[in-house]
């Protein structure tokens, strides 16, 4: 994922602009900071991709539960659903920012990224214990 995830004002990228795994949250936070300073163009795609990824993770865990690879009574699906809901909230905050151009929304979204990261971390930790 690109640090700015969208075209920068100068349209140049390097390998240092790429983020993988949980470091994606760092890239998204930097994107929000650059957006607040009007150094990058607005784009909803990074936050929709984040939401889509969390949703796919939920579907995979639910599949593992339904196929008997995870205990059926595990609250793990609820934990992953929490990450999905938090990612949807982050995406919706970006839509709200686009409509209002209120920079305070970007600050709020930085906090929302921490919520998503925390929920995902806890859910993944529990998943690893069950596998």
Give the model confidence (pLDDT) of 76-101 as tens digits.
889 999 999 999 999 999 999 999 99
pLDDT in tens, 49-81: 999 999 999 999 999 999 998 888 778 889 999
pLDDT band for position 13 (cuts 50, 70, 90): low
Helices (H) and strands (E) in the chain, counts: 4, 0
pLDDT band for position 129 (cuts 50, 70, 90): confident
Both ends of the chain: CA-CA distance in Å?
A: 28
Q: What is the mean pLDDT of the chain?
A: 87
- In the DSSP assignment, the letter for residue 48 is H
What residues does each domain of the chain span?
42-130
pLDDT band for position 20 (cuts 50, 70, 90): confident
């Amino acid at each position: 994922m690109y640090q700015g995830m969208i075209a920068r004002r100068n349209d140049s990228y390097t390998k240092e602009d790429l983020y993988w795994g949980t470091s994606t949250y760092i890239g998204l936070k930097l994107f929000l900071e650059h957006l607040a300073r009007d150094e990058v163009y607005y784009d909803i795609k990074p936050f929709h991709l984040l939401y889509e990824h969390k949703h796919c993770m939920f579907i995979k865990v639910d599949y593992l539960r339904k196929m008997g690879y995870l205990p059926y009574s595990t609250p793990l699906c609820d934990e992953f659903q929490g990450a999905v809901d938090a990612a949807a909230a982050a995406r919706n905050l970006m839509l709200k920012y686009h409509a209002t151009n209120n920079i305070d929304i970007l600050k709020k979204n930085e906090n929302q990224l921490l919520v998503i990261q925390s929920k995902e971390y806890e859910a993944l930790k529990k998943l690893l214990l069950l596998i």
